[in-house]
Structure 1
């Protein structure tokens, strides 16, 4: 935007719904709401200076060609989208600019560092491990600080002719999800309401910094992954980062500057306070030259694991009807509100893949990309590969998985989170909340929830499934690494269902989200 405002006679701020931009190819209701609220906020800011945000439907290269023909536009400015799945779209615009002699300006602003520079610094190939990535960015140096706010004082906003507005299928106002034929997937009300837009993001950032300062003065860091607050108001900035409502550089530097202020200039290690942002950068960089990054079979960095296909199990997982209360609570919160805590993403992703159901991580990725507010293609796919032990340092890890019973019990001993999102179990005694199938029938009847009638039976015996899946993974590991298979496999629930902790990123991730 700053580049577009330089030496300009008329400024046309534009957003184009082309079926792909901002991840709208498979977008769900909550994600679309957040995007539209963000556009509405931007539009309201332009209106203060006599302008507006033009929102079109169509092909970007066609729209820009017609604007050149009718309005003689001289410069097009946009943000770098480093993910390879968008290159065809962006290259069409770049080629058009070359053909017509239009100045084309592409700025890096969605990431802290330019991923292409990271790859170049590493000898032309992406750093394959997080440790190597950290080394490369230390060689490059600190990311740039955020730029100044735009000044619209003397800017003239261009007015689009009516005939072009009609040709471009322009929305008179910022559209609603219903204008795209979309309605909410769940009947229940959203208990936590996420709101898009820069103004809301900046307000949330201020609140977040207040909480961070308290933590820094107490000698701790956020987020708390060991004992997260699953019921409190979320402090995550990840949706705002995903949709550009908040500058990732501003977030990074505000956190570091605050820490330095509290600790008198004694800087922390990166991973202590902004580690999730660094993991976010790592996954972006790994995806830059890999158009098959979000796939298994054609993806050169991903292990090809023979996952099972079971549409029935997958559907029950998607809709929170697996019979495992913590898993179901997380999946229902996702559909209801569009966001779930990092630890919840960890649990449901492990459950779907190598933990219990042994279903392809691609199915989980596509579900997250549709419903998760902060789901970036590269970071989300990277975390799913990590959780399923399909790539990165987690490759073929057989040792640990998430127990769908004990993990939730550890995080929320009294079951308040489960009862919020699985109201069928509202009256269940706490000792049976995480294993309702163990409750005597008279207890179930007294609670008004009979398992198999009011709440589903377990889809599988998780202890046996986890043991079997570990054996699968160990056999695959032995085959790939040409080593003898292990002599035995743990059989008790305590041994089989150890906790697995992801890197703090899961902003999608499962998403690298900075909770």
Structure 2
């Protein structure tokens, strides 16, 4: 059904931000109830959905996700309205043009969105507009977790798990909208204020001044945004989980990390909300129960629980992604003058092939495996270059498809020993040579993303500087000419940095109550260190 009148008694708007899907969307379900006309919208306001700091791949994924929603809505006689401007100006325009009775949106619990949402709620209250906010980007409402924990965030992951066990299992997904009974409203395209823009055609990244860092031919793995793709991808992931359960293990992405195979990660779809985290959680839990019995097992979804933990830890802490003003972060005197080292790290020109392959994959495709993230983060910070984790975080926020503010910052603080560990307990420092060899013994990953090294014998592939000159000439790649020299000696740097950490730890007689792991086992699980990993790290 389609109502083409420009004047409606009850107009409901659902504002997509994160939560770019039609399934398991409680706010969307509320929006279509009891209204004469329904308007689904997205506003490019320069910050929502991570657009404040965004590269080509991230913007492309976002636009594909929006276009997928629009395509689905068109099947039911509607469409997704895309605006550019401030939310208040957009809502005022809708209200003055066709009226606005109800505004619905999914909760963004991170503090960076609080001011934006407070302004909208104030506008709604002043104008008699019903404002509905629903939780569905997280498994539990982080505010409920904090309340249950006595009004403060749980300082350890173990405390967090205990707290949510008191709350109980997360809600199951809500039902889908019955679109056959929804009346879509129509916005007149005349008299649009000069301070907002309505897109008549779907924009491209270039329309926002964002150009591709590499050509499409260089993207070996193409990530496609949107709910439709996410749901197809989910079925592929569930087959991987099912095979693991039947073979007697769980967390296949962690237990057997594959740098070369088609990625089965759902992280980008979860970050943009193309896939409901509750649907993902319960799909895995239900499959486990059908194969292994009905007893609950939180370990099989521990990666999702870590995501919840970081979201909860960021609530109310607007400085969570900083060092100096962040109450849970240790203030480590990182190097201020690091010359060209940071740029070489970003460009994949450190002279360490495993590190460089990871960084080049990130720029080309927008995604890297979790084990790879830990490796380059450790290298940038306490492992080798002694550069602040804040620099790495901002780079990831721009280029990593799944980088959301709280989870990404939490990961960087942990790996850099700035938070989420006992106190600078950094005995394990990833070796950029041995760690890479363990994950990819034959160097196929390096050859894929650093083609200049493709003819190197495997014994020199991770340490090309050790290859005799005649081997380099035969391989067609001279170190220092065709591939960069090492910017640092890992063995020397890691020993020096460990001494720095020891000195800082000794000075911190009364450390702040920063977040920390509950045990060494928890640390190993987070860093994806297997029990026999010591030979691949610098002690």
Please state which band the TM-score falls in when normalised by the shorter chain: over 0.9
**How far, CA to CA, are the matches of 1:398 and 1:129 in structure 2?**
17
Q: Tell me the residue number matched to 1:491.
A: none
Q: Structure 1 residue 55 and structure 2 residue 78: aligned?
A: no
Which deviates more, 394-403 or 14-23?
Answer: 394-403
Equivalent in 49, 57, 71 of residue 44 of structure 1: 71
Which deviates more, 122-131 or 61-70?
Answer: 61-70
Q: Report if the CA contact (8 A) 2:241-2:252 is conserved.
A: no
Q: Report if the CA contact (8 A) 2:93-2:193 is conserved.
A: no
Q: Structure 1 residue 472 and structure 2 residue 500: aligned?
A: yes
Identify if the C-alpha distance between structure 1 residues 119 and 438 changes in structure 2 by more than 3 Å, giving closer, same or farther.
Answer: same
Q: Tell me the residue number matched to 1:402.
A: 430
Equivalent in 375, 383, 387 of residue 403 of structure 2: 375
Q: Structure 1 residue 30 and structure 2 residue 57: aligned?
A: yes
SS of residue in 1 equivalent to 2:239: helix
Q: Report if the CA contact (8 A) 1:190-1:337 is conserved.
A: yes
Long gaps (5+) in structure 1: 484-499, 507-515
> Per-residue displacement from partner, 1:98-133 (whole Å, max 9, x unpaired)?
100100000111000000000111111111111111
Q: Report if the CA contact (8 A) 2:374-2:527 is conserved.
A: no
Q: Structure 1 residue 182 and structure 2 residue 182: aligned?
A: no
Kindly state the Cα deviation for residue 166 of structure 1 after the two structures are TM-superposed.
6.5
Q: Report if the CA contact (8 A) 1:18-1:58 is conserved.
A: yes
Q: Structure 1 residue 171 and structure 2 residue 194: aligned?
A: no
**How far, CA to CA, are the matches of 1:223 and 1:28 in structure 2?**
30
Q: Tell me the residue number matched to 1:495.
A: none
Kindly state the Cα deviation for residue 226 of structure 1 after the two structures are TM-superposed.
4.9
Identify if the C-alpha distance between structure 1 residues 155 and 311 changes in structure 2 by more than 3 Å, giving closer, same or farther.
Answer: farther
Equivalent in 342, 347, 355 of residue 327 of structure 1: 355
Q: Tell me the residue number matched to 1:291.
A: 318
Equivalent in 94, 98, 119 of residue 125 of structure 2: 98
**How far, CA to CA, are the matches of 1:156 and 1:296 in structure 2?**
49
Scaled by the length of structure 2, the TM-score of the pair is 0.89
**How far, CA to CA, are the matches of 2:356 and 2:151 in structure 1?**
44
Q: Report if the CA contact (8 A) 1:82-1:115 is conserved.
A: yes
Aligned ranges 1:115-514 → 2 under 5 Å: 115-165=142-192, 167=194, 168-187=196-215, 189-268=218-297, 270=298, 272-309=299-336, 310-393=338-421, 395-481=423-509, 501=524, 503=526
> Per-residue displacement from partner, 1:309-350 (whole Å, max 9, x unpaired)?
214100000010000000000000000000000100010000
Identify if the C-alpha distance between structure 1 residues 111 and 501 changes in structure 2 by more than 3 Å, giving closer, same or farther.
Answer: same
> Per-residue displacement from partner, 1:342-368 (whole Å, max 9, x unpaired)?
100010000000000000000000000
Kindly state the Cα deviation for residue 181 of structure 1 after the two structures are TM-superposed.
1.5
**How far, CA to CA, are the matches of 1:38 and 1:170 in structure 2?**
18
How many pairs are equivalent?
488
SS of residue in 1 equivalent to 2:53: coil
Q: Report if the CA contact (8 A) 1:226-1:411 is conserved.
A: no
What's the RMSD between the two structures over aligned residues? 1.5
Which deviates more, 352-361 or 157-166?
Answer: 157-166
Which deviates more, 446-455 or 123-132?
Answer: 123-132
SS of residue in 2 equivalent to 1:76: strand
**How far, CA to CA, are the matches of 1:158 and 1:224 in structure 2?**
44
**How far, CA to CA, are the matches of 2:193 and 2:527 in structure 1?**
47
Q: Report if the CA contact (8 A) 2:371-2:527 is conserved.
A: no
Scaled by the length of structure 1, the TM-score of the pair is 0.93
**How far, CA to CA, are the matches of 2:130 and 2:377 in structure 1?**
44
**How far, CA to CA, are the matches of 1:57 and 1:224 in structure 2?**
39
Kindly state the Cα deviation for residue 50 of structure 1 after the two structures are TM-superposed.
1.1
Q: Report if the CA contact (8 A) 2:321-2:406 is conserved.
A: yes
**How far, CA to CA, are the matches of 2:327 and 2:294 in structure 1?**
43
Q: Report if the CA contact (8 A) 1:287-1:293 is conserved.
A: yes
Kindly state the Cα deviation for residue 477 of structure 1 after the two structures are TM-superposed.
0.5
Equivalent in 73, 80, 83 of residue 100 of structure 2: 73
**How far, CA to CA, are the matches of 1:344 and 1:164 in structure 2?**
51
**How far, CA to CA, are the matches of 1:301 and 1:395 in structure 2?**
12
Identify if the C-alpha distance between structure 1 residues 229 and 432 changes in structure 2 by more than 3 Å, giving closer, same or farther.
Answer: same
